[in-house]
Amino acid sequence: MAANMYRVGDYVYFENSSSNPYLVRRIEELNKTANGNVEAKVVCLFRRRDISSSLNSLADSNAREFEEESKQPGVSEQQRHQLKHRELFLSRQFESLPATHIRGKCSVTLLNETDILSQYLEKEDCFFYSLVFDPVQKTLLADQGEIRVGCKYQAEIPDRLAEGESDNRNQQKMEMKVWDPDNPLTDRQIDQFLVVARAVGTFARALDCSSSIRQPSLHMSAAAASRDITLFHAMDTLQRNGYDLAKAMSTLVPQGGPVLCRDEMEEWSASEAMLFEEALEKYGKDFNDIRQDFLPWKSLASIVQFYYMWKTTDRYIQQKRLKAAEADSKLKQVYIPTYTKPNPNQIISVGSKPGMNGAGFQKGLTCESCHTTQSAQWYAWGPPNMQCRLCASCWIYWKKYGGLKTPTQLEGAARGTTEPHSRGHLSRPEAQSLSPYTTSANRAKLLAKNRQTFLLQTTKLTRLARRMCRDLLQPRRAARRPYAPINANAIKAECSIRLPKAAKTPLKIHPLVRLPLATIVKDLVAQAPLKPKTPRGTKTPINRNQLTQNRGLGGIMVKRAYETMAGVPFSANGRPLASGIRSSSQPAAKRQKLNPADAPNPVVFVATKDTRALRKALTHLEMRRAARRPNLPLKVKPPLIAVRPPVPLPPSSHPASTSEPIVLED
């Protein structure tokens, strides 16, 4: 009963996929929805498999420093591999998950210098963390809750002075006296001076325009003048004037007017106070993050002072009561029964009813983790084409700790299959930057927001595998389908087998001299100049007699003639025209002109009449070859087409209609 009872603050396993490992989360709230279900608001904790390789290397360096400082005992390579599965990374990311997806409890503790790492391997469902992961900024930072213990954090205490020995140190450099308890004034005189200081502060607020707006009534001004900042200023004034009341009073009211002392409660506006309360609700007492994300124009000292003054106000007491009332109305605990449904990855034995996961698996396969051949139950693991499986104990280890007991090459392949191929896992700026409809200028602005850049660098083994395993890789097919996954580990393994058998002669590489990019762009712009945009609304007079005359285009500039056979239009090459293609007898549709401002790139190529005629002269095979290799020049002989003389038309029955020009408005 107690094992299935989950409370606020527990670390639990959540299952979001039948093949992926469990998610480790901490329950913050338990809320009941309108339909009667229970949702848990949880804090996300990430594994090493959830972060990038660069952050993994940063975590490795942090682990090495911890082992050197804490003088950890030596561990084997297998234990070091399993310790990486026990390490988590805390975050401030919240999410809501159904409580029915809870699969058990676990323990997560902050790693201390006195802890021994090997002890975590001896306990079941035990994890540790020392770094905080920011999913938005993609950074790893040390947890601020660590205790600073050591010689570099402790104060150096000098030796005690002997009796009668004088202290030769300069006391003014070490400290400054702000109050003398043996002063000549009595307590009554000091209290009277403090009353005068409050009255001067109230009068100063009446003269100040900004203060009169914030404290419109006399009571509010008097209450603001009675705060600690006014009393501290009065006592400092007495100390500076040698506890002479006459001099101190004259200092309170100088020649320019009364002195006005304000604290952080008066300096902050109402909107800034609301931002502070919102930030405090999100980050807690993490004043660095509050200043960075909500109040960057405030200093850290100002935020800390305002926090402790804000705790003395009625606003803090009201919010504390509201939170207590909300906590009473929410669920404190929830009972989740043990999950007993079979896993879809379970391999069904031959004697039982065949299923999807049991079909196609070969007999005699061992466990990918412990290499055992006997198990009460087997589970499919990794890519389906690899036909890998895990025994029952290794499957439970995989689900809880997100890895295998022993390091294997297929672990990276199984991790790659769980990553989605869509852009749903990307942030909005990253997804927009991949869009082909985003201009280069906007794409640069979107990519500039990402803090971390990455570089794809090809290794020598990968370059060799591209040539040795061309039959497995199929580079042309992979280039046409970049979204399809490639089993890189299987290709590299095959390459390592074929590499010793390959010929020792080096490959012949023909160097290709390429022109600079600036020269290519300059030539392309010179060959395809931009057409001036015709203003809308201009009227172009056209005579109908010109429509029947030959345009005088010789060679490839002349359009191919169309012939009609049995009522079906045929082109000059003998192929019938589709219904969507208009013939020469159909009316010409209005051609939409390209607007250079709407193009995705700053360089726009406008097709001329010569290029359009050249496209018609190319065959289908030559067109595809030119599209695949646009850097190669085209060597096409344009066909010579005889220009037929214009056929005179019979006289029109309406001569008056041909003499008048027709105006076409764009």
Question: Residues 235-269: pLDDT tens digits?
Answer: 999 999 999 999 998 888 888 888 888 888 888 88
Confidence bin at 45 (pLDDT 50/70/90): very high
| Residue 90: how many other CB atoms lie within 10 Å | 20
Please name the fold of domain 185-261: Hormone receptor fold (4.10.1240)
Distance CA 599, CA 495 (A): 44
The phi, psi pair for 130, rounded to 5°, reads -140, -10
**Percent of the chain at pLDDT above 70?**
71
Q: How many CB atoms lie within 10 A of CB 18?
A: 13
Check whether domain 271-327 has CATH 1.10.10.60, yes or no: yes
The average confidence (pLDDT) of the chain is 76
Tokens of 284: 């807690």
What is residue 589's predicted lDDT score, i.e. its pLDDT? 46
Give the burial string for 589-612 (b: 16+ CB within 10 Å, else e). eeeeeeeeeeeeeeebeeeeeeee
Q: Say which range, 60-74, 127-141, 500-514, 544-558, has the weakest mean pLDDT.
A: 544-558
Chain centroid, CA 8 distance in Å:
29
Q: Which of 116-125, 264-273, 484-493, 507-516 has the lowest mean pLDDT?
A: 507-516
Quickly list DSSP for 269-317. -HHHHHHHHHHHHHHSS-HHHHHHHT-TTS-HHHHHHHHHHHTTSHHHH
Neighbour tally for 285: CB within 10 Å: 9
Structure tokens at 474: 């199929």
More confident residue, 255 or 665: 255
| pLDDT higher than threshold 50 for residue 518 | yes
CB 128 within 8 A of CB 47: no
pTM of the full structure: 0.47
| Band of pLDDT at residue 361, cut at 50, 70 and 90 | low
**Pairing between β-strand 38-46 and β-strand 11-14 as defined by DSSP bridges:** unpaired
Rounded distance between C-alpha atoms, residue 322 and residue 301, angstroms: 28
Query: How confident is residue 561, by pLDDT bands cut at 50, 70 and 90?
Result: very low
d(C-alpha 98, C-alpha 39), whole Å: 5
Q: By mean pLDDT, which of 33-37, 38-42, 657-661 is the weakest?
A: 657-661
- For residue 565, pLDDT over 50 is answered with no
Please, which pLDDT band fits residue 475 given cuts at 50, 70 and 90?
confident
CATH class of 3-140: mainly beta
Q: Which of 135-149, 293-307, 414-428 has the lowest mean pLDDT?
A: 414-428
Please tell me which residue, 536 or 108, carries the higher pLDDT value: 108
CA distance 91 to 42: 11
Q: What CATH architecture is 341-346+365-405?
A: 2-Layer Sandwich (3.30)
Name the band, by pLDDT with cuts 50, 70 and 90, for residue 604.
low
pLDDT of residue 69: 85
Quick check: 641 pLDDT over 90?
no
Q: State whether residue 106 is helix, strand or coil.
A: strand
Of the pLDDT bands very low, low, confident and very high (cuts 50, 70, 90), residue 640 is low
* The pair of three-digit structure tokens given for residue 101, joined into one six-digit string: 């997806």
Per domain, the residue ranges of the chain are 3-140, 185-261, 271-327, 341-346+365-405, 460-501
